[in-house]
A and B are shown apart, each in its own frame.
Chain A
């Protein structure tokens, strides 16, 4: 939350807060046409041109990611919508190589991400970026490609152990012909579709992809699989079996209404218990967005943003594989932890970062991450502290910046040599350098 939001909402009831989140999401702006539409490179292009085109598209995709992080860090944007979109991006992990396809997919998460899961899943199954990523344009009647059908069940809906190899084969047949054209639009290729009879999860019929989805959604295991994932993302890295079962039951009965599930979570008393607060390690993107929001950062150097995302292991539209970012403790190793803890000091220009990024596999030159050039604005935070005495600033800020208990302030913050502005800035920097700031 930004400082002003925090002041506004301090006196709200939980119900008011939740309503506000959903209202914001409903009225969110459509993403402006952030990229010009991308044409597929055609066969006559030289390989140099094609490479140049690829680079150009990679830049567009990166820019879309940058704007997304900025929106996540912008208090006037719909926080819940951005969060759930990031969740779905990790769930339906997909690498987008064309700017136009990346934005299309993101619009899809924004349009359906809080509604009925079936609508979302159908839209994803027809999403050109996903179709390409999981090779469904090669899924044809005479030579089925099982990639999408397999991940649909293993990762997107029901999880391992709840279907057979034969189910994968039959589902793949049902999705034959779900393809995309050169303009990056979904097309159904009639002549590639297998109209024959399929047997899937014990049922038989002339199923197509939508029927397969319906059959999968009839299974309660699907509601459970999705709920535990949402619980991990919104509540805690530590699963709570009984609660997840209960939530999943409600989710199933609501016909997989995602917004309802979230309302249910947010209005549960346990959601506000200390054991569930500050329990998750922020993902790199969440960490960055949080810093932008807290410090009202602007003029952020995109190269620094790129470097940090890469060094910390989360590049938007470039998940490690279709299983998404593993998350939790997997974010942390000695290198990522040190960089995370040193980020605030770099933003406050207290230290220079000095990280050599290895080259990407197809490149020969690495990059250096030296610093973060950004403007920060501590005025909103200072307003928040209007009625707080100098001595209490550190704790008041801790209350705002962290979801965890904090160690006592270093003695120099309480020394009388600092003026008020210095105390505020020192306290922010100190608190944001704590491991506790990595948690949410």
Chain B
């Protein structure tokens, strides 16, 4: 018997909220309905200023280029003698010390594009800046799986689905609020799927199938989201709510392997300091609560969280107290199952620039290849349409 139905039939639902770890200890993994490990992708939309996130406080060039925007050395949470965390990221310090946070410097791609939309497309499709690709890297991951996956195998916490989650044949599932989703599948005008009539047309049947799968998924996710209640305190706002929802779904053993969520507002061209610090604080508080939920339920070893942004920002601040679109950036990876943690590679050079921008050292597709191959156990070459050397951290 699956645990979910065990809990429901035995009337333990409320008890389970209080003692999830206890229940888990005896029942996992054999009773878990989920197969394999979990990937959580966090997208920072708008182009996060990586140089004010992982701060190169050991470099004078940084301070010269950002006379009023740099983080004073005394405030930086130093990780080594060159780089440290923005003070708003203090909730992540513990993770770093415990070896559960890895930082990859200088991630990007050749011939960088400074348009938000284009660069986000490049990251989401996992293609080069010369291609126009209409499928996402996680969508292609779904394509390669056997056909009988649940609709919610990959779940985006949003009312719309990102390109990253759209494959040629399979799509991820979008849901921001299980109640809302359930209401919208309950429009009484929608065709009664019990007597779905026979369709001679392939495409219409596709629509009916999608509707049926959506309705089933909506019911399942609605149930799942009521099984476990987090006791952590997440930051107020959408991002915190989304993270909490994912934590609750994961803890309830939801049969979902990939989660995708995003935090917006990083396009800080003017008067960056305050807004950027608030965004980072929101991010860090959210991640720390999320990780605490996973740790409490002994799940952090099975989850990896990757955080990226479509590009970083230029080294020099601009005339309005902000920064303009740049290129290479840091990527943050968190998990209880990292093989290597800490700062994984040399920081981007601040003296060798391309017209004022950092030059990338690590192709972002190497990171994807690592996650696909070593975490999800999928054929990375096939999904990424080429060979990208794995990075040795998992």
Contact = CB atoms under 8 A, between A and B. Distances in A.
Contact of B160 (A47, A278, A358): A358
Given A323-B134, A333-B161, A364-B265, A338 B185 contact: yes
Interface stretch (B27-35, B49-57, B198-206, B328-336): B198-206
Contacts of A120: none
| Chain B interface residue bracket vs A | 35 or more
Contact of A361 (B46, B195, B211): B46
B171 interface: yes
Contacts of B120: 361
A345 interface: yes
Interface in B168-213: 171-176, 180-181, 183-185, 187, 189-191, 195-197, 200-204, 206-208, 210-211, 213
Contact of B191 (A321, A336, A435): A435
Nearest to B125: A321
Contacts of A345: 187, 189
A282 to B, nearest CB: 11
A334 B203 contact: no
Interface string A111-150: 0000000000000000000000000000000000000000
B321 to A, nearest CB: 11
B45 interface: yes
Nearest to B163: A320
A291 to B, nearest CB: 15
Nearest to B262: A358
A362 B184 contact: no
A434 interface: yes
Interface string A368-400: 000000000000000000000000000000000
Given A280-B203, A322-B132, A362-B116, A354 B208 contact: no
Interface stretch (A183-191, A193-201, A324-332): A324-332
B206 A332 contact: yes
A329 B160 contact: no
Interface in B237-288: 238, 262, 264-265, 267, 269-270, 275
B293 interface: no
Interface string A207-243: 0000000000000000000000000000001100000
A321 B45 contact: no
B267 A358 contact: no
Contacts of B132: 155, 321-323
Interface in B115-133: 116-118, 120-121, 132
A337 B211 contact: yes
Contacts, number: 154
Nearest to B179: A354
Contacts of A335: 159-161, 174-175
Given A320-B121, A334-B171, A407-B197, A329 B159 contact: no
B78 interface: no
Given A321-B121, A359-B45, A334 B213 contact: yes
A362 B204 contact: no
Given A334-B213, A361-B46, A407-B195, A433 B319 contact: no
A237 B206 CA distance: 13
Contacts of A354: 180, 183-184
Scoring B46, B116, B159, B185 by chain A CB atoms within 10 A of each residue's CB, the highest score goes to B159
B157 to A, nearest CB: 10
Contact of B190 (A336, A339, A341): A341
A1 interface: no
B142 to A, nearest CB: 11
B389 to A, nearest CB: 26
Interface string B277-305: 00000000000000000000000000000
Interface string A342-372: 1011000011001111110111101000000
A321 B118 contact: yes
Contacts of B204: 278, 404, 435-436, 439
Contacts of A334: 151, 161, 171, 173-175, 210, 213-214, 217
Interface in A229-282: 237-238, 274, 278-281
B319 A351 contact: no
Nearest to A46: B320
Given A274-B200, A332-B206, A439-B207, 6 more contacts: A237-B203, A320-B121, A334-B174, A356-B238, A358-B264, A359-B45
Interface of B: 45-47, 116-118, 120-121, 132, 134, 151, 158-161, 163, 166, 171-176, 180-181, 183-185, 187, 189-191, 195-197, 200-204, 206-208, 210-211, 213-214, 217, 238, 262, 264-265, 267, 269-270, 275, 310, 318-320
Q: Which 6 A-B pairs have the closest CB atoms?
A: A364-B265, A361-B116, A435-B207, A433-B189, A323-B132, A335-B174
9 contacts: A278-B201, A280-B203, A281-B207, A323-B132, A333-B210, A335-B159, A341-B187, A356-B159, A435-B211
